[in-house]
């Protein structure tokens, strides 16, 4: 348990740094704007209680809001993601539960299950985020368009990040 | 009771989720200018719609009084029609009037919310930007001045009432050259305060007070009220005059929003001299 908290904290710092320092400066074509920091919540250990996940989501979103000067937007969207995570995780749990010591990543869950899990959560997060960014019914379709494109982009980037960390853990 | 506690305990994560989202939303509309403005104008539309419903329900009770007021005003307007004038001159009068040009347009509106219990009172009326209402337009009723439009959404507008501590209007005593500033002391709903009139001016009780028309919001010479009591201010050598306002804002239902056709010209000229 202590070990998993330490790993989660390290992941928190590194992903936040990646998001704030690198990815926030990428805004390709006014549309592509990936939010890879959601991986922080996606990768939290399975044994974390729903309450702990929810609070982590709230404070992570608020912290990012402070850096992006969009107080409330990431707080609301990441809180929703953190609230939904235990419910989506329950959907893909095998009948006899996860193996002891398994983590929430592509390697331990398998491609198909992880894709369902990650895409659903990223989509819900992005939909709320881009809707709040638009905040008017006239811009709704632009928000939906951005949601779909960036869900895919964030997902691909998360897979790339996981391919690196998997190698590290094996070594 | 035990069941209630059980329900709370099993769903506390969901409850906390709702609370956290609410906190997030409040922060969103508090700290982001764009979101704050969108949220407030949306709220304006919603509360406006609600106030319309309440007003529709209650306005029937005031119909008798309203009719009397409107009938009286109709009578006054009839008096001003060309048909009410007798031509006593022998000369031919051309119909095309080259001396007088219409300056003010009137739009009828109804008050749907009228707050009078605060230091800064506002009214809401049921016409907005779609009907051509703009901020800075004057609002009157059949008896006197009501206020100035300060905020406009699509279908509603907010009017800063004369009974607002921030309201200022240049007014003058009828038939005299001297003008002062009308404001509100924040207490008496029927009285305004006129300041900056010098002590050498002779002021009598029940003298008429009318608009100065300086800023182009109201026309010149619109009736505002009557002098009620006069107090000498020793230190500034001016009068402080209490004015009985003629508008009677407590019972105002029908108002007219005034558009000055020459307002832009006035503003342009004012800015050119700055």
Query: B87 lies in a domain?
Result: no
The answer to whether residue A96 scores a pLDDT higher than 70 is yes
Q: Please count the other Cβ atoms lying within 10 Å of the Cβ belonging to residue B74.
A: 11
Residues of A whose CB is below 8 A from B8: none
Mean pLDDT of B3-24: 86
Answer whether B73's CB lies under 8 Å from B141's CB: no
By percentage, how much of chain B surpasses pLDDT 70? 91
Tell me, what's the pLDDT at B54? 84
By percentage, how much of chain A surpasses pLDDT 70? 95
State phi, psi for A160 to the nearest 5 degrees: -60, -45
As a dihedral over the C-alpha atoms of residue A126, residue A128, residue A131, residue A132, rounded to 10 degrees, the angle is -120
Query: B97 lies in a domain?
Result: no
pLDDT tier at B97 (50, 70, 90 boundaries)?
low
Q: How far apart are CA B209 and CA B241, in angstroms?
A: 11
Query: B232 lies in a domain?
Result: yes
Contact criterion met (CB < 8 Å) for B28 and A71: yes
Mean pLDDT of A81-97: 88
Mean pLDDT of A22-34: 79
- The per-residue pLDDT for range B104-119, each reduced to its tens digit, is 788 888 888 887 888 8
Average pLDDT, chain A: 87
Contact criterion met (CB < 8 Å) for A72 and B34: no
State phi, psi for B147 to the nearest 5 degrees: 170, -160
Provide the CATH number for the domain around residue B218.
2.40.10.350
* Residue of chain B with shortest Cα separation from A51: B13
pLDDT tier at A57 (50, 70, 90 boundaries)?
very high
Distance from chain centroid for Cα A74: 11
Average pLDDT, chain B: 83
pLDDT tier at B58 (50, 70, 90 boundaries)?
confident
Contact criterion met (CB < 8 Å) for B17 and A54: yes
Residue B1 CA: distances (Å) to CA of B4, B6, B11, B16, B187: 5, 9, 15, 21, 50
Domain boundaries, chain A: 2-170
Across the A/B interface, how many CB contacts are shorter than 8 Å?
Answer: 56
The answer to whether residue B126 scores a pLDDT higher than 90 is no
Domain boundaries, position B54: 2-59
Mean pLDDT of A144-152: 92
Nearest Cβ partner for B25 among A50, A72, A83: A72
The answer to whether residue A170 scores a pLDDT higher than 70 is no
ipTM of the complex: 0.86
Residues of B whose CB is below 8 A from A133: none
Q: How far apart are CA A145 and CA A149, in angstroms?
A: 6
Tell me, what's the pLDDT at A126? 95
| Selected residues 81-140 of chain A with any CB under 8 Å from a CB in chain B | 83, 132, 135-136
Tell me, what's the pLDDT at B252? 84
- The per-residue pLDDT for range B70-91, each reduced to its tens digit, is 877 877 777 676 655 555 555 5
Q: How far apart are CA B50 and CA B216, in angstroms?
A: 33
Query: B273 lies in a domain?
Result: no
Contact criterion met (CB < 8 Å) for B20 and A71: no
Q: How far apart are CA B198 and CA B178, in angstroms?
A: 8
Q: Please count the other Cβ atoms lying within 10 Å of the Cβ belonging to residue B265.
A: 11
By percentage, how much of chain B surpasses pLDDT 90? 15
Q: What share of chain B is helix, strand, coil (3-state, %, to 5)?
A: 35, 30, 35
How many structural domains is chain B composed of? Answer: 2
Tell me, what's the pLDDT at B79? 67
**Number of residues that make up chain B:** 274
Nearest Cβ partner for B25 among A58, A76, A83: A76
Tell me, what's the pLDDT at A119? 94
Tell me, what's the pLDDT at A171? 41
Query: B236 lies in a domain?
Result: yes
The answer to whether residue B14 scores a pLDDT higher than 50 is yes
Residue with tokens 């094996």: A170
Q: Which two tokens stand for residue A137?
A: 């019914």
Tell me, what's the pLDDT at B43? 82
The reply to whether B50 touches chain A by the CB within 8 Å rule is: no
Residue B32: is it exposed, middle or buried by C-beta count within 10 angstroms (0-12/13-18/19+)?
Answer: buried
Instruction: Identify which of B23-27, B69-73, B201-205 has the greatest average pLDDT.
Output: B23-27
Nearest Cβ partner for B21 among A51, A71, A76: A76
Query: B271 lies in a domain?
Result: no
- Residue bearing the bigger pLDDT, A154 or B72: A154
Q: Give Cβ neighbours of residue B269 (< 8 Å, ≥ 6 apart).
A: none
Q: Last residue of some domain: B10, B31, B59?
A: B59
Query: B49 lies in a domain?
Result: yes
Mean pLDDT of A66-83: 92
Mean pLDDT of B33-49: 82
The reply to whether B20 touches chain A by the CB within 8 Å rule is: yes
Residues of B whose CB is below 8 A from A139: none
Give the Cα-Cα-Cα angle A41, A45, A48 (nearest 5 degrees). Answer: 90
Contact criterion met (CB < 8 Å) for A61 and B24: yes
């Amino acid at each position: 348990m202590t070990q998993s908290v330490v790993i989660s904290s390290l992941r928190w710092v590194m992903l936040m740094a990646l998001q704030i320092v690198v990815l926030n400066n990428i805004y390709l074509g006014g549309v592509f704007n990936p939010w890879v920091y959601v991986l922080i919540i996606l990768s939290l250990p399975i044994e974390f209680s729903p309450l702990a996940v929810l609070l982590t989501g709230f404070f992570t979103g608020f912290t990012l809001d402070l850096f992006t000067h969009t107080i409330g937007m990431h707080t609301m969207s990441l809180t929703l993601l953190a609230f939904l995570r235990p419910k989506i995780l329950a959907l893909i749990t095998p009948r006899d539960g996860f193996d002891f010591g398994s983590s929430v990543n592509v390697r331990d869950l398998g491609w198909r299950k992880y894709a369902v899990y990650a895409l659903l959560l990223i989509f819900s997060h992005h939909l709320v985020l881009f809707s709040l960014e638009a905040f008017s019914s006239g811009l709704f379709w632009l928000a939906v368009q951005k949601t779909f494109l960036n869900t895919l982009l964030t997902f691909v980037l998360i897979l790339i990040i996981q391919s690196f960390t998997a190698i590290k853990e094996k070594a | 009771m035990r069941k209630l506690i059980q329900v709370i305990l099993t769903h506390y994560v969901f409850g906390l989720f709702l609370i956290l989202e609410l906190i997030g939303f409040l922060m969103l509309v508090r700290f982001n200018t764009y979101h704050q403005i969108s949220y407030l104008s949306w709220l304006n539309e919603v509360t406006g719609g609600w106030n319309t419903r309440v007003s529709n329900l209650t306005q029937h009770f005031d119909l008798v009084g309203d009719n009397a007021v409107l009938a009286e005003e109709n009578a006054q307007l009839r008096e001003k029609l060309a048909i009410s004038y007798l031509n006593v001159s022998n000369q031919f009068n051309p119909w095309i009037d080259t001396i007088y040009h219409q300056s003010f347009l009137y739009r009828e509106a109804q008050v749907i919310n009228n707050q009078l219990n605060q230091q800064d009172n506002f009214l809401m009326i049921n016409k907005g930007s779609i009907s051509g209402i703009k901020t800075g337009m004057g609002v009157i009723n059949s008896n006197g001045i009501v206020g100035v439009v300060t905020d406009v959404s699509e279908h509603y507008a907010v009017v800063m009432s004369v009974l607002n501590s921030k309201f200022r209007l240049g007014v003058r005593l009828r038939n005299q050259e001297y003008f002062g500033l009308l404001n509100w002391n924040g207490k008496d709903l029927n009285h305004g305060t006129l300041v900056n009139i010098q002590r050498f001016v002779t002021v009598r009780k029940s003298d008429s007070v009318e608009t100065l028309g300086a800023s182009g919001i109201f026309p010149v010479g619109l009736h505002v009220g009557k002098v009620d009591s006069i107090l000498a201010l020793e230190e500034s050598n001016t009068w402080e005059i209490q004015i009985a306002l003629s508008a009677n804002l407590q019972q105002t239902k029908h108002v007219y929003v005034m558009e000055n056709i020459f307002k832009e010209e006035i503003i342009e000229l004012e800015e050119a001299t700055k």
